[in-house]
Amino acid sequence: MSDATTLPETLDAQVWARVQMMPGGDVNDVMDVALVNTVMDRVGRGAADLRQLSTEQIADRLGRLHQFLLESPDSPLPRMAAVVESTTGLSEPMVIWALRDLLKRLTPRALVALVEAEFGHRDPFHGPRMLATHAAARVANPPDRVFYVMAGTIPSVPVEAMVLSLLARAPAVIKTSRAEPATARLYLEAMRQVAPDLARALAVVTWPGGTEALERAACDRASVVVAYGSNETIDAMYQRCRFPTKFIGYGHRVSFGLMADGDATLGEPALRDLARLWALDASAYDQFGCMSLACLFVSTNGPWTPEEVAREIALEGFPYTESSMPRGRLSAETAALQMQARAVAEFSGTLFSAPTGAVILHDRCRFEPTPGGRLLHVVPWSTPDELDAALRPLRGLLSTAGLWCEDPQRSALTSQLNRLGVRRITRPGRMQRPLWLRDHDGRPRISDWVDWTDVEP
């Protein structure tokens, strides 16, 4: 364990062996402060090779890696899905769908376009360049190291984290959740086969969340700390950081759908198709993501009544999604909360139940939170003021709005949602499938990690 030149590979092999044996991924007996410091040192030494590469070269290597993962008989995607199912409860088809959907979008062209969109140039790290919007030339200085703290709900996020770090020329240490250590490790294992020069700038570690000594040691060595998780986790990690470390936290958010007025001549086939899209938004990641559809606001002046929409999602949408993307295991807590909500709704006669999903219809306009596990609330709305009153208390917590409306209404509704603090507006069926070329949770993905040097004329 003392050989620093082979430490990340040795560490990952030992930790991964323990993770395979321990469903909870508890590897606290492996990690200590000295080892955290050694890992941070080792990935830092991988920066030199990484920063000699152009953005196109990095994107091409990642493109070959993703092609291998998507097409090779030796792809670790099935292994990832099997282990993620055993630790998180998400079904294997769900995990495969999520990872394949992401990898298909992470094409070389898309990766280069992201860097250009965020920095104004595809190679902002290779010398000062004049940009049309700046009087001075400028060059970006990448972070010395990025330390990531992952949650365990969305298995595709660690893949995004490693890709973003490489595009930002930032060596990175990814601390996985004990509930989901597999995706990051197997993705890095595949990268070592296809693009070993990129893999040298990355390491994956696992220890129980809240281990202050280890987290503080990692934060002390990082230029940027990015944390995902509960609000309590975000607050704790923020306290671990000291100036000038940059801290970026992604805590609890909620998402909703909005159906406005529509063509009164739309019939049953259109409603069926729309119900399938809303069901996908409420089914992806079993409704445990920040961009998951939790509550659907349906206009009382639309082509279908709120009751018709609720019934169609439950009887057509959820079964259709279940056929290709089965729901996974529910935790005892989620199951108990679902049973409680179902019992109340059944008593009042507003429950539309599916074998692995349910829709609860409400009679007043207010946001209804969900415990997850494909339990969707449908609520009526009729005026913009009514919608404002329902969503204004959630300002600061609103992530994504799925919007179904006709073109004349779009401008007014998007302006209203913007005023309410919604960070992303998309169409039904895309809530859990965000565009790669976009901000994340209302802020740039990587451009605020870097420091800039301005060179004045």
Per-residue pLDDT reduced to its tens digit, 293-323: 999 999 999 999 999 999 999 999 999 999 9
DSSP H/E element including 141: strand 137-141
Residue 450 tokens, joined: 């870097």
Tokens 């998400």 locate to 90
Answer yes or no: is 455 within a domain: no
The reply to whether 129 and 157 lie within a common domain is yes
Are 73 and 184 within one domain? yes
Of residues 455 and 359, which shows the higher confidence score? 359
Number of folded domains in the chain? 2
DSSP 126-157: SS-B--TT-SSEEEEE--S-EEEE--SS-TTH
Task: With respect to residue 431, please indicate whether it lies within any of the assigned structural domains.
Answer: no
Query: Tokens 């799925």 identify what position?
Result: 402
Alpha helices in 106-174 (DSSP H): 108-119, 157-167
- Residues 242 and 266 grouped into a single domain: no
Domain assignment present for 453: no
Task: Give mean pLDDT, residues 170-176.
Answer: 94
Q: Are residues 374 and 247 in the same domain?
A: no
Least reliable range by pLDDT among 97-106, 122-131, 167-176, 230-239: 122-131
Residues 66 and 190 in one domain: yes
Mean pLDDT over 75-81 rounds to 90
Distance CA 227, CA 230 (A): 10
The span from the CA of 427 to the CA of 308, in Å, is 20
Provide the pLDDT for residue 158: 94
Beta-ladder partners of 403: 258
Query: What number of residues does the chain have?
Result: 457
Averaged pLDDT for residues 73-84: 90
Comparing CA positions, the residue from 159, 162, 138, 167 lying closest to residue 57 is 167
Structure confidence at residue 102 (pLDDT): 94
What radius of gyration, in Å, describes the C-alpha atoms of the chain? 23
What's the average model confidence in pLDDT over 130-150?
A: 85
200 and 74 in a common domain: yes
Q: Mean pLDDT in the chain?
A: 88
Confirm whether 433 is domain-assigned: no
Residues 187-242: tens digit of each pLDDT: 999 999 999 999 999 999 888 888 899 999 999 999 999 999 889 999 999 999 99
**Measured CA distances, 70 to 58, 96, 97, 184, 436 (Å):** 18, 10, 11, 16, 18
Helix (H) / strand (E) containing 283: helix 268-283
Position 1 pLDDT exceeds 50: no
Domain encompassing residue 321:
254-426
Residues 260, 311 share a domain: yes
In a domain, 318, yes or no: yes
In a domain, 382, yes or no: yes
Residue 94 lies in a domain: yes
Do residues 152 and 83 both lie within one domain?
A: yes
Asked if 293 and 368 count as a contact pair (C-beta separation under 8 A), the reply is no
β-pair type (137-141, 451-455): antiparallel
384, 280: one domain:
yes
Q: Which CATH number characterizes residue 95's domain?
A: 3.40.605.10
Domain CATH number, residue 398: 3.40.309.10
193 lies in a domain?
A: yes
Indicate if 216 and 267 belong to the same structural domain. Answer: no
Whether the CB-CB separation of 455 and 431 falls below 8 Å is answered with no
Task: Examine the domain organization and report whether 231 and 352 are in the same domain.
Answer: no
How large a percentage of the chain has pLDDT more than 90? 65
